[in-house]
Amino acid sequence: MSQKLTLETLESWLWESANIMRGSIDSSDFKNYIFGLIFLKRLNDVFEERIAVIMEEEDCSRAEAMEIEKEDGDYFVPPDARWDYIVQRTENIGEVIDEAFGDIEARNSYLEGVLTAIQFGDKNKLGDELLARLLRHFNRYNLGNQSLYKADMLGDAYEYLIKQFADDAGKKGGEFYTPKPVVQLLVRLLDPQPGHTVYDPTFGSGGMLVESAHHVAELPNGKIMGRPNVVLCGQERNLSTWAIGKLNLYLHNMSADLRRGNTLVEPLHLEGGSVRVFDRVIANPPFSAKQWWTPLETNLKTKVGKNGEEKEIPPNYKKEVYDSHGRFGYGIPPRGYADLAFVQHMLASLKDDGRMAVVLPHGVLFRGGEEGKIRTGLLKGSSELPGDRIEAVIGLPEALFYNTGIPACVLILNKQKPASLKDKVIFIDGSREYAEGKNQNSLREKDIEHIHEAHNAAFHNSVEEDKYCRLVAMDEISVNDYNLNIARYIDTSEAEPEVDIPAVLSELAVIGGQLAEVDAELDGYLAELGLVLISGDVEMV
């Protein structure tokens, strides 16, 4: 191919594949099949590219180059998984693709369980005719490195598709995708550095880890052998979402330790029986997830009610939740709100000098009960755990996310706050600055920069900004019973203009004089006409 494939062309071409599927299966399922075919085509094209290089460098035949790559290379594709073989199939195409994915996984431990999570063999969803159309469509362009404008461009196109599918899926899109401006804001606030470890306990499609790696790569010493100088780790509960995230990192040419499972119940990044600790922890957990301690939910007790019918007894999380990893020292969140369970897990996953950023619903800032106790502990401390963990509370605009129209906030926690921030919390109200959309609002670059600059100024120089950013002492927060509702600390109301009473009275006096002159003139005109004004009525003299 003589001309390099541009990102715009690539994005348009990939999105057309969704239109081929539209009407045949649910749009929320598009992503799984399309992402699988993108990967399969990409892997094959890079493999063919590598074989051509070996043939030239070793001056050998194609068969000999195949053997060399099979023995020593990272790109070998088994014969039954090669694109040319698959694209020629006319029957049972889905089963052939499933078998190809199994063969590829067998040679690549990183991809184990990722590709086989996508089932192409279900003919009720994908018939041979539809799959043949998709294969012809994907056959249009070469996805090898030499054909792309830049080597990791396919990762960018993949992220574009993830966003498009989130848009298309509407509310369901929020389950696997965080809008990129929000991701960029969190990464800038955390500022991961070369050599850092970064962990996302609910990594979804992997956007926060990818953005963290991009951020590090732009810094001095930010790359090692062409790859970002950062260790990426994450965990995700949903199988298809986990697979999407794994492929996203793979197509960005990034390595990451991404594990599948329920982070709250079974954290999988462990060291010596305790949760592993990281330099930076970043997440957008599901808002106010209910029934979050599944061991209790799968063994619900029952009793017979007054009507004689058996009914389930909701468990008392405060008394019955037991965490062998000791993460919930500040308290057990209620059954219907997992938010502060995620916060405490993230805090337990921080190094002694680590920092974390998490997106949460506003209710976390002011709800009482057990959540109020946990919030108080994070600020004031408890008999067993230190306080002063919260570095900043940042309010975001409403309707930024797919799964809710309510405004969210960002909490930044810090295990080693600088002396100037001891017993103080930075409050920023960024809720009024955004680009308004028809169905969803978004943060603009200038909005992200404003929040970032205000936070930096407060963090490093104790600088505040009227009606936008304040440094609030713990004494003031304690007076408010450790309620962190931003409106209690930042007054955004506009002051009413002061009224100059003497000036107003003087003006009224002038107006009164003018009215008297008008009345006298009117009386004169009426007299000339033989009329008189009595109690508002005109009568003949």
Per-residue confidence in pLDDT tens, the chain, 541 aa? 446 788 888 888 888 888 888 877 776 677 778 888 988 998 899 899 999 999 999 999 999 999 999 887 777 899 999 999 999 999 999 999 999 999 999 988 888 888 888 889 888 888 899 999 999 999 998 988 888 776 667 777 777 777 777 766 554 444 567 889 999 999 999 999 999 999 999 998 899 999 999 999 999 999 998 899 999 999 999 888 898 888 888 888 888 999 999 999 999 999 988 999 999 999 999 999 999 999 999 888 888 777 878 888 899 999 999 999 999 999 999 999 999 999 999 999 999 999 999 999 999 999 999 999 999 999 999 889 999 999 999 999 998 987 567 889 999 999 999 999 999 999 999 999 999 988 789 999 999 999 999 999 999 999 999 999 999 999 999 999 999 999 999 987 766 677 778 888 888 888 888 888 887 887 777 777 776 666 556 555 5
Question: For residue 143, what are its two tokens?
Answer: 């996805």
Question: For residue 120, what are its two tokens?
Answer: 């192409």
Kindly report the pTM of this predicted structure: 0.84
Radius of gyration of the chain (CA): 32
C-alpha angle 114/117/122, rounded to 5°? Answer: 145
Closest by Cα among 151, 13, 144, 135 to 83: 135
Cα gap 169→225, rounded to integer Å? 38
User: Could you tell me what percentage of the chain is helix, strand and coil, using 3-state DSSP and rounding each to the nearest 5?
Assistant: 45, 15, 35
Question: For residue 7, what are its two tokens?
Answer: 């990102």
